[in-house]
């Protein structure tokens, strides 16, 4: 089938099935045509995508034509589109795309994953008393009136939420809920971390019962949902060294039941990591991974300390390493992944603003960066949201998102066949998502992305302009059915 047959078939079908709009009936001015004019930028030379092509999805054109010239134009545009910053894409399409990406979550706190409404409703159902000030703390927006929250304010909310961990069954039920939400967000592998001491505190639970409750929840959830889950048992810096040792021993004891690593959380400014170093050295001997929080809002040198003294093989946040040349060199040479949680960093004030967040600098410096949610319930985000926000604010391309998700696969505490299976599943799914993204673009959207990709790659302006010029001339000729001009346009590219 030739190009003309394809496009005219689609356009006729659309026109004949479309109901007449009210404006047409009343005879008033019809709404303006879909914006197919390309932006007023030199490279586009005030050209427009011909009307006949304006609304045809790229996927339809690609599949239904056998016109070699058109396929060449599309292939080149698609290749460049994958290299383009996704910020030119509209929000709805970007959201669909990041949702469709198979994802890996490496930094998510179980005890920060339940949204306030669910938490309050769950407490009501289970007869758990929620004091008025707890409800007030949980319900107020994450950002304070002055537009900035602090990590200290956030810890207060976090502690308020701990009241729901009433017994082993409550822990199991809420763990299932959290995993279900991640599975619905197309997360394929989740490393969920939790602090047994924090969760046990409110109702005086046994630390081991907390661990068992979470493991029960993981077992029940992974039977129902297509997601792999591993656990990181976390020490709280605010607690005693003796409690830290108890947590390390529990992590080691449940290593064969899904616990893969030891974490370290809470206020790094007030509680330095040094005194917890022996627990992390023991974790290494016990065959556990080490993923302490460091360099979130504390001293930049904390990252180097975590790597050298705590034997960290992954860093929670780590964004302040950008201010410590030695630490930065260490994460690069030792290939230590950073579990970056952009929204969390903005909402807690760990990063001053999206514009000043060091994600892009770290990515360009060759650091193995990953994107995570931290506390999706308290911050009101999903991992898909985080990917979309990161793409928009850090000018990420499809190719870069693929690298970032691959980084997460590489950094996951999985071994052998489990990791190979995840890698295959994720990379196959990303290719499908990339294809679906392009298939649903209009030609105008594809061209905007393609030119963005050409710029990113440093293609000279005259070459960008020539590509657009040739493509548009070809489309115009095809639209007019002018066979001779169509031949000319095709010959230009041959
Ligand atoms: Zn965290």
- pLDDT of res. 486: 55
Architecture of domain 93-414: Alpha-Beta Barrel (3.20)
Residue 149 has pLDDT above 70, yes or no: no
Task: State the Cα–Cα distance between residues 446 and 73, nearest whole angstrom.
Answer: 11
Plot region of 429 (φ>0 → left; ψ -120 to 50 → alpha; else → beta) = alpha
State the distance from the centre of ligand 1 to the C-alpha of 107, rounded, in angstroms: 6
The pair of three-digit structure tokens given for residue 104, joined into one six-digit string: 């890996």
Q: How confident is the model at residue 21 (pLDDT cuts 50, 70, 90)?
A: very low
Per-residue pLDDT of 255-284, as tens digits, reads 989 999 999 998 888 888 889 999 999 999
Q: How confident is the model at residue 15 (pLDDT cuts 50, 70, 90)?
A: very low
Residue with tokens 């810890």: 155
Task: State the Cα–Cα distance between residues 299 and 281, nearest whole angstrom.
Answer: 22
Per-residue pLDDT of 150-167, as tens digits, reads 666 677 777 777 889 999
Query: What average pLDDT does the segment 83-87 reach?
Result: 95
Q: Of 234, 220, 135, which Cα lies nearest the Cα of 175? A: 220
Q: How confident is the model at residue 140 (pLDDT cuts 50, 70, 90)?
A: low
- pLDDT of res. 163: 86
Which part of the chain has CATH 3.20.20.140? 93-414
Q: Of 341, 425, 348, which Cα lies nearest the Cα of 385? A: 341
Task: State the Cα–Cα distance between residues 288 and 196, nearest whole angstrom.
Answer: 17
Residue with tokens 């134009």: 73
State the distance from the centre of ligand 1 to the C-alpha of 314, rounded, in angstroms: 12
Lowest-pLDDT range of 34-48, 90-104, 179-193, 331-345: 34-48
- pLDDT of res. 36: 66
Residue 388 has pLDDT above 80, yes or no: yes
Q: How confident is the model at residue 143 (pLDDT cuts 50, 70, 90)?
A: low
State the distance from the centre of ligand 1 to the C-alpha of 108, rounded, in angstroms: 7
Lowest-pLDDT range of 26-40, 62-76, 320-334, 408-422: 26-40
Task: State the Cα–Cα distance between residues 321 and 327, nearest whole angstrom.
Answer: 6
Query: Which run of H or E residues covers position 274?
Result: none
State the distance from the centre of ligand 1 to the C-alpha of 293, rounded, in angstroms: 7
The pair of three-digit structure tokens given for residue 492, joined into one six-digit string: 């230009």
Residue 493 has pLDDT above 50, yes or no: no
Question: In which order are the strands placed within the sheet that holds 315-317?
Answer: 103-109, 187-194, 228-236, 259-265, 289-294, 315-317, 338-340, 369-371
Q: Of 339, 397, 423, 398, which Cα lies nearest the Cα of 373? A: 339
State the distance from the centre of ligand 1 to the C-alpha of 453, rounded, in angstroms: 34
State the distance from the centre of ligand 1 to the C-alpha of 231, rounded, in angstroms: 14
Task: State the Cα–Cα distance between residues 51 and 32, nearest whole angstrom.
Answer: 12
Query: Which run of H or E residues covers position 261?
Result: strand 259-265
State the distance from the centre of ligand 1 to the C-alpha of 353, rounded, in angstroms: 18
Q: Of 159, 167, 218, 164, which Cα lies nearest the Cα of 190? A: 218
Coil, helix or strand at residue 9 = helix
Contacts of 424 (CB under 8 A, 6+ apart): none
State the distance from the centre of ligand 1 to the C-alpha of 193, rounded, in angstroms: 8
Ranges 148-157, 215-224, 343-352, 373-382, most confident: 215-224
The pair of three-digit structure tokens given for residue 53, joined into one six-digit string: 């092509």
Q: How confident is the model at residue 72 (pLDDT cuts 50, 70, 90)?
A: very high
State the distance from the centre of ligand 1 to the C-alpha of 208, rounded, in angstroms: 22
State the distance from the centre of ligand 1 to the C-alpha of 264, rounded, in angstroms: 9
Residue 22 has pLDDT above 50, yes or no: no
Query: What positions carry a catalytic annotation?
Result: 296
Residue 20 has pLDDT above 50, yes or no: no
Contact yes or no for 294/276 (Cβ under 8 A): no
Q: Of 338, 391, 388, which Cα lies nearest the Cα of 362? A: 338
State the distance from the centre of ligand 1 to the C-alpha of 339, rounded, in angstroms: 9
Average pLDDT along the chain: 87
- pLDDT of res. 7: 41
Coil, helix or strand at residue 244 = helix
Q: How confident is the model at residue 186 (pLDDT cuts 50, 70, 90)?
A: very high
Per-residue pLDDT of 199-248, as tens digits, reads 999 899 999 999 999 999 999 999 999 999 999 999 999 999 999 999 99
DSSP secondary-structure letter at 4?
H
Please give the share of the chain, as a percent, with pLDDT higher than 70: 85
Per-residue pLDDT of 454-471, as tens digits, reads 999 999 999 999 999 999
Residue 337 has pLDDT above 60, yes or no: yes
Residue 187 has pLDDT above 50, yes or no: yes
Positive or negative: CA dihedral 29, 33, 39, 43: negative
State the distance from the centre of ligand 1 to the C-alpha of 158, rounded, in angstroms: 11
Q: How confident is the model at residue 131 (pLDDT cuts 50, 70, 90)?
A: confident
Query: What average pLDDT does the segment 6-25 reach?
Result: 35
């Amino acid at each position: 089938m030739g190009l003309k047959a394809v496009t005219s078939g689609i356009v006729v079908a659309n026109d004949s099935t479309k109901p007449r709009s009210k404006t047409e009936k009343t005879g008033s001015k019809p709404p303006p045509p879909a914006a197919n004019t390309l932006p007023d930028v030199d490279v586009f030379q005030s050209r427009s995508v011909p009307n006949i092509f304006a609304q045809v999805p790229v996927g339809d054109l690609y599949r239904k034509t056998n016109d070699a010239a058109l396929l060449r134009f599309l292939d080149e545009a698609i290749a460049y589109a994958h290299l383009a910053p996704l910020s030119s894409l509209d929000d709805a399409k970007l959201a669909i795309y990041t949702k469709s990406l198979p994802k890996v979550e490496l930094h998510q706190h179980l005890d920060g994953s339940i949204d306030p409404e669910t938490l309050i409703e769950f407490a009501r159902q289970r007869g758990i008393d929620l004091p008025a000030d707890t409800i007030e703390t949980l319900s107020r927006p994450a950002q304070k009136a002055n537009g900035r929250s602090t990590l200290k304010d956030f810890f207060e909310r976090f502690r308020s939420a701990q009241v729901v961990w009433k017994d082993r069954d409550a822990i199991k039920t809420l763990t299932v809920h959290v995993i279900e939400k991640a599975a619905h967000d197309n997360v394929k592998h989740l490393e969920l971390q939790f602090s047994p001491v924090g969760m046990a505190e409110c109702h005086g639970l046994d630390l081991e019962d907390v661990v068992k409750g979470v493991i029960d929840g993981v077992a029940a959830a992974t039977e129902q949902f297509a997601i792999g889950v591993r656990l990181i048992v976390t020490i709280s810096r605010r607690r005693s060294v003796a409690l830290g040792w108890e947590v390390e021993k529990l992590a080691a004891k449940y290593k064969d039941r899904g616990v893969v690593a030891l974490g370290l959380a809470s206020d790094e400014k007030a509680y330095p990591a040094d005194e917890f170093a022996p627990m992390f050295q023991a974790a290494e001997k016990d065959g556990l991974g080490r993923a302490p929080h460091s360099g979130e809002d504390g001293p930049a040198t904390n990252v180097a300390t975590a790597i050298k003294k705590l034997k960290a093989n992954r860093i929670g946040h780590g964004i302040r390493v950008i201010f410590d040349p030695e630490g930065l060199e260490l994460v690069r040479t030792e290939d230590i992944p950073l579990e970056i949680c952009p929204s969390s960093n903005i909402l807690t004030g760990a990063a001053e603003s999206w514009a000043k967040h060091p994600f892009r600098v770290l990515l360009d410096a060759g650091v193995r960066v990953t994107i995570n949610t931290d506390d999706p319930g308290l911050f009101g985000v999903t991992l898909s949201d985080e990917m979309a926000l990161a793409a928009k604010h850090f000018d990420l391309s499809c190719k870069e998102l693929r690298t970032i998700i691959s980084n997460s696969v590489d950094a996951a505490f999985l071994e052998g066949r489990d990791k190979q299976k995840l890698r295959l599943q994720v990379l196959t799914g990303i290719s499908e998502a990339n294809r679906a993204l392009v298939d649903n673009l209009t030609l105008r959207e594809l061209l905007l992305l393609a030119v963005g990709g050409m710029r990113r790659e440093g293609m000279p302006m005259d070459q960008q302009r020539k590509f657009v010029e040739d493509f548009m001339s070809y489309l115009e000729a095809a639209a007019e059915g002018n066979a001779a001009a169509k031949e000319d346009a095709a010959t230009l590219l041959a």
